[in-house]
Amino acid sequence: MRFGKYHSIILATAYLFITSCSSTRHLPANDKLYTGANIDVNGTTTVREKKVLTEDLEGLTRPKPNSKLLGLRLKLSIYNLFRKKKANSFFGRIRDKNGEPPVLLSQVDLQQNVRVLQSHMENKGYFRAKVAGDTILRRKKAHARYSVEAGRQYMINAIHFPEDSNALFATIRKSSMESLLMPGKPFDLDVIKAERIRIDGYLKERGFYFFSPEFILVKTDTTLGNNLVNMFVTVKPDIPIESREVYRIKDVHIYTGYSLNMERIDSSRSQAQYYKGYYIIDRRKRYKPWLFSESMKFEPGDVYNRTDHNLTLSRLVNLDLFKFVINRFVINRDTDSAYIDVFYYLTPLPRKSLGAEFSAATRSNNLNGTMISVNWKDRNLLKGGEHLIISAYTGSDVQFSGALRGYNTIRYGGEMNFGVPRFVVPFARFKIKGGYVPRTNIQLGYDMMNRVKLYTLNSFRAAYGYLWKESLVKQHELYPISVNYVHPTNVTPEYDSLIHQDTLLARAIQKQFILGATYQYTYNQLATGIRRTNAYFFNGVIDLSGNIAGLSSGADVKNGKVVTIRDVPFSQYIKFELDGRFYRKLGLHSTWVNRAIVGVGIPYGNSVQLPYIKQFFIGGTNSLRGFRSRSVGPGTYRFIDTLDFLPDETGDIKLELNTEFRFRINGPLYGALFLDAGNIWLMNDSTYTHKPGGEFTSKFLTQLAVDAGIGFRFDITLFVIRLDIAFPLRKPWEQNPWVIDQIKFFQKPWRRENIIYNLGIGYPF
């Protein structure tokens, strides 16, 4: 506490010392500190119109005054404090990085600002606006004042498109139904510029490859009176003849081994292979020709359009075979008609790569872990863009304290993933529209987990499925075949004795056989990289297992009919999980984020609950951060861990709600305030699960666990290091669930029992 007291005194003293240095003390002689501009707008018809104009005009004046924080020019004070320090000295670097030199009145060009403001008013349709400027002096400070007489804004009366019958004018006229210029709307130069870009895009979609927005001319007639204007959309008379033509695709050339320092040989076909209308120059025979015919959206004879242009580039990049994809179009001079040749220059990525990763983690449950993983990748195994990825890992968790100290965990495993850049479906052939190449994936994996002195679990898995994207924000994953078999071995007598004390421990060593299918859909507006005011994320998963086998065999575990496959009961269930998120931008560096997760697993037939590896759990670094992972629920059930095992509560139903306010503290350091709520439940009653209070009922909302906390994030774009500190507000297993009145931050026993520290990489959601 003493340190905190003296630390506060030191900070306050430093603050007063810095701010006591007058911001005007060190100004040049006969000059003043410029404090900004005031805009006084008169003559507008509405309050909102005046507010918008004032904000726009204030943003156009130059220079900008020194920045303020809480009304104080701290950066200017820092600059003045160290103004005489050398540039490369310690304090000189502090000044140059964190300070601002004074903005002086002598830097203000009043007449230039008047011209800029006058021009902006005319661009917004205030053709009769008048702007005047003056400076107001007060001791060693000065500011500018601009008076704007807006007058009435001109409105659009009518828009006329060209009436000529040639192809170019007819196409422009056809686009008029989508025009951004509308009668009754204000004259606005920005809208006119956007209209030119819109017309250009419309023409590009219809073969006018060489057209440009600068060729569009919008003439105005302001002589109507009553502040109305007629607009005439036309084309400049001296545009190149190529820009008036509708172009079709003639020849498509694909160079597969292009290097950036190579000379382009556009006309050479001596070494080209002609395949389905494409000339493929692949001297080293690295790729099968069909790979490109399925990637191309352009075919000879097609009318050029920008959509197919962009989709083809996107598909070639999406193959993950080429480091660079360069594209150009050239007029074909061998024909009298309007044709263009297309050239694609592809620079291959290294075919094979080897990577390794090492990680270490310290957890709040006394486990300290390490992990080493190695992966090998072949990007073009069978010359058809097939990806083969073989990965292996090994790791361990060591417990240094607790009753079970020395009962460590050793893990190792591997996975083979073979991906083909198309749909491989028996007796059928599908092609997906859009700019993303679909993939067929075959996965084989094995994982071993050895709890030393207790047991060993062997997990074998295989899957066959498809991945495809509709767009950058929409993605699908369908695995019609998914098999998982878990086989325990080396169960020690010591663990058997523990099971007799707690029969729930037997779940960890149950044999499990899961045969089913999964489908996943993801909608992610954040994937565009555009920071929207409102952004949405949605992920939905459907997981089915044993449905056909269960229906055909008549399995009914509740009535004593358990069906096995090689002496292992297969799991039978339907599982749904929905994850929805809403991101609301609040200012430049602040965001309000909300998440809701709903999961439902319905065991039936051959199962009374979901298999252990498929059940839901809650709590931990990315969930309820005020509770340890897997330590909450199901329902109001509370397992008293007398054996000092890690908490391991799971359920068939899950509900989780999170809200978090994220804000910037300084530079790459961000903060967060958050609130989490949720729980898990069992679908069947305690007769089958032996967990009283764990069944899902209509009172589920009264059984939610709630926590709150603060977070700190170091975000340098490449990765985010996150520390969240949270504590419970509501414990559903308590007789009086709300524990807010029990919070005692200054008492060590309460902090040790309730405060949870979560260290993670990346944001929780």
Whether residue 440 is predicted with pLDDT greater than 50 in this model: the reply is yes
Domain assignment of residue 528, yes or no: no
Task: Say what the pLDDT of residue 689 is.
Answer: 58
255 & 337 share domain: yes
12 & 144 share domain: yes
Task: Say what the pLDDT of residue 58 is.
Answer: 92
Q: How many domains does the chain have?
A: 3
Whether residue 16 is predicted with pLDDT greater than 50 in this model: the reply is no
Average pLDDT score over residue span 502-519: 80
d(CA 725, CA 744): 15
What is the share, in percent, of the chain residues with pLDDT greater than 90? 58
Task: Say what the pLDDT of residue 304 is.
Answer: 97
Which token pair is 350? 């290294």
Cα dihedral 738, 740, 741, 746 sign: positive
Average pLDDT score over residue span 46-62: 90
Task: Say what the pLDDT of residue 474 is.
Answer: 94
Q: Cβ(544)–Cβ(574) under 8 Å?
A: yes
**Rg for the chain, CA atoms, rounded:** 34
Domain assignment of residue 277, yes or no: yes
d(CA 258, CA 255): 6
- Bridge partners (DSSP) listed for residue 752: none
d(CA 758, CA 160): 64
118 & 167 share domain: no
Domain assignment of residue 500, yes or no: no
Cα dihedral 172, 177, 179, 184 sign: positive
Which CATH number is 210's domain given? 3.10.20.310
Task: Say what the pLDDT of residue 263 is.
Answer: 65
- What global pTM score does this model have? 0.77
d(CA 269, CA 255): 11
Question: In this structure, which amino acid lies at residue 166?
Answer: N
Q: 705: closest CA among 656, 641, 651? A: 656
Task: Say what the pLDDT of residue 6 is.
Answer: 46
Task: Say what the pLDDT of residue 640 is.
Answer: 67
What's the burial of 380, exposed, middle or buried (CB within 10 Å: 0-12/13-18/19+)? Answer: buried
Q: 728: closest CA among 644, 664, 638? A: 638
Residue 43: left (phi > 0), alpha (psi -120 to 50), or beta?
left
User: Looking up tokens 């601009």, which residue turns up?
Assistant: 146
Domain assignment of residue 135, yes or no: yes
> 3-class DSSP state for residue 533?
coil
Whether residue 645 is predicted with pLDDT greater than 70 in this model: the reply is no
User: Looking up tokens 């340098």, which residue turns up?
Assistant: 716
Task: Say what the pLDDT of residue 40 is.
Answer: 94
Query: What's the mean pLDDT when you consider all of the chain?
Result: 87
Identify which has the larger pLDDT, 352 or 558. 352
119 & 8 share domain: yes
22 & 115 share domain: yes
Domain assignment of residue 516, yes or no: no
Domain assignment of residue 743, yes or no: no
Task: Say what the pLDDT of residue 629 is.
Answer: 83
Task: Say what the pLDDT of residue 647 is.
Answer: 64
53 & 129 share domain: yes
Reported as a single tens digit per residue, the pLDDT across 184-214 is 999 999 999 999 999 999 999 999 999 999 9
What is the share, in percent, of the chain residues with pLDDT greater than 70? 90
Domain assignment of residue 565, yes or no: no
pLDDT band at 687 (very low <50, low <70, confident <90, very high): low
d(CA 194, CA 270): 46
- Domain containing residue 209: 155-244
217 & 259 share domain: no
From 115, 134, 149, give the residue that closes a domain.
149
Element housing 326 (H / E): strand 322-331
Q: Cβ(42)–Cβ(150) under 8 Å?
A: yes
Q: What is the 3-state secondary structure (H, E, C) of 217-257?
A: EEEEECCCCCCEEEEEEEECCCCCHHHHCCCEEEEEEEECC
- CA–CA–CA angle 189, 194, 195 (5° rounding): 95
Identify which has the larger pLDDT, 554 or 638. 638
Least confident of 6-15, 81-90, 324-333, 612-621: 6-15
Q: 258: closest CA among 316, 334, 301? A: 316
Which token pair is 92? 């000189």
Task: Say what the pLDDT of residue 458 is.
Answer: 93
255 & 172 share domain: no
133 & 74 share domain: yes
Whether residue 396 is predicted with pLDDT greater than 90 in this model: the reply is no
Question: In this structure, which amino acid lies at residue 626?
Answer: G
Task: Say what the pLDDT of residue 20 is.
Answer: 43
Cα dihedral 420, 426, 431, 432 sign: negative
181 & 317 share domain: no
Whether residue 70 is predicted with pLDDT greater than 80 in this model: the reply is no
Whether residue 765 is predicted with pLDDT greater than 80 in this model: the reply is yes
From 324, 348, 372, give the residue that closes a domain.
348
Cβ neighbours, 10 Å, residue 498: 16
Average pLDDT score over residue span 125-129: 93
Reported as a single tens digit per residue, the pLDDT across 254-294 is 999 998 776 655 555 667 999 999 999 999 999 999 999 98
Reported as a single tens digit per residue, the pLDDT across 442-485 is 999 999 989 888 889 999 999 999 999 988 899 999 999 999 99
Task: Say what the pLDDT of residue 266 is.
Answer: 56
Residue 276: left (phi > 0), alpha (psi -120 to 50), or beta?
left
Q: 479: closest CA among 432, 420, 544, 426? A: 544
Identify which has the larger pLDDT, 564 or 291. 291
144 & 167 share domain: no
From 85, 116, 149, give the residue that closes a domain.
149
Reported as a single tens digit per residue, the pLDDT across 488-510 is 999 888 888 877 766 666 777 88
Q: 732: closest CA among 682, 681, 687, 690? A: 681
Cis peptide before 63 (omega within 30 of 0): yes
> 3-class DSSP state for residue 689?
helix
Domain assignment of residue 708, yes or no: no
Q: 631: closest CA among 615, 616, 619, 643? A: 619
* Sequence-separated contacts (24+) of 538-541 with Cβ below 8 Å: 538/578, 538/579, 538/580, 538/581, 539/577, 539/578, 539/579, 540/576, 540/577, 540/578, 540/579, 541/575, 541/576, 541/577, 541/578
> 3-class DSSP state for residue 178?
helix
Average pLDDT score over residue span 419-430: 83
**DSSP structural state of residue 504:** G
318 & 340 share domain: yes
Average pLDDT score over residue span 717-734: 90
CA distances from 655 to 191, 364, 697 (A): 47, 24, 13
